Amino acid sequence: MSLDRRREVVNPGHEQFSVVRQCDLIGMSRSSWYYRPRGESEPNLDLMRVIDEAYLKMPWYGSRQMTRHLKRLGYGVGPKRVRRLMRLMGLRSVAPQPQTSRLNPAHPVYPYLLNDIAMERANQARCTDVTYIPMAHGFLYLVAVMNWHTRKVLSWRVSNTQDTTFCLEALDETIEHYGCPEIFDTDQGSQFTSKAWTDRLKEQGVRISMGGKGQWVDNVFIERFWRPFKYECVYLNAFSDFRDARHNIGVWMNYYNNDRPHSKLDDLTPNEAYAGTRPLTSAA
């Protein structure tokens, strides 16, 4: 259970259990329940929204190029500020990066397995990614797990931190409801190279695949998914808080899976394609 979910569970007015006891039962310190992280300023939140929209169109922009772009839009920003905000948002240029440090031996990187494999069935491969979600007063992160062949979103979770816990919750839900895929593909984000994540897949006998550093095309379907999701859901709804965001994201995910036809699925919806309504001729 993520820290956000644990905070929601605690009821300070509980007749039987004190806050301390409730925190102990769910494995959270009392200070974690009382503490509320200091949010970004309104100007920075506005700037992060602009950076997010620009990144959807130009994912090859690093912090320096993004700084130039923002200055042309009239923002008085410097590279340090833009670099910090992009790092906070989890955004990085898709262009190849120099190898400036060695990999943590506790976080091994696995080879990419999907180059020469024809996707022909629903549970052959799955992919996942984390994206940034702006709100009226703050921001969240969203993880989604997608079936590679049919583009169906099998599970998703939101969190206010980029930890591994909410990613594992989404992974466990897909395994519980849909079984295990043969291959699970991710990027090299810290959540997916963590021992907790890779061990969970190994326990289930799932082959682990990771895209190359800066190679967004290796995880292309989930990367493409973020664009319609943000333009059709996030940017049209100024989410006021965590609950509002989770509700509206859930509504759109249901629409996407059940009612939104996909040109690459012979105009089937992802749910229809996953259920095998008819053979696909154009799904890559």
Q: Which residue has the higher pLDDT, 153 or 24?
A: 153
pLDDT tens figures, 83-114: 999 988 888 776 554 443 334 455 788 898 88
Tell me the two tokens of residue 62. 């690093």
- For the CA atoms of 73, 76, 79, 83, what is the dihedral angle to 10 degrees? -80
Q: Would you tell me how many other CB atoms lie within 10 Å of the CB of residue 176?
A: 9
pLDDT tens figures, 109-148: 889 888 877 878 888 999 999 999 998 888 899 999 999 9
Mean pLDDT of all residues in 197-217: 82
pLDDT tens figures, 142-200: 999 999 999 999 999 999 888 899 999 999 999 999 999 999 999 888 899 999 999 99
Confidence of residue 282 (pLDDT cuts 50, 70, 90): very low
Give the pLDDT of residue 189.
85
* Pairing status of strand 125-135 against strand 183-186: parallel
Give the pLDDT of residue 204.
94
Give the pLDDT of residue 218.
57
Please tell me the pTM assigned to this model: 0.73
* Pairing status of strand 138-147 against strand 183-186: unpaired
User: Looking at the chain, which runs of residues are DSSP E strands?
Assistant: 125-135, 138-147, 153-159, 183-186, 207-210
Residue count (the chain): 284
Sheet architecture: strand order including 138-147: 153-159, 138-147, 125-135, 183-186, 207-210
Give the pLDDT of residue 93.
75
Give the pLDDT of residue 280.
47
Q: Check whether 63 has a pLDDT greater than 70.
A: yes
Confidence of residue 26 (pLDDT cuts 50, 70, 90): confident
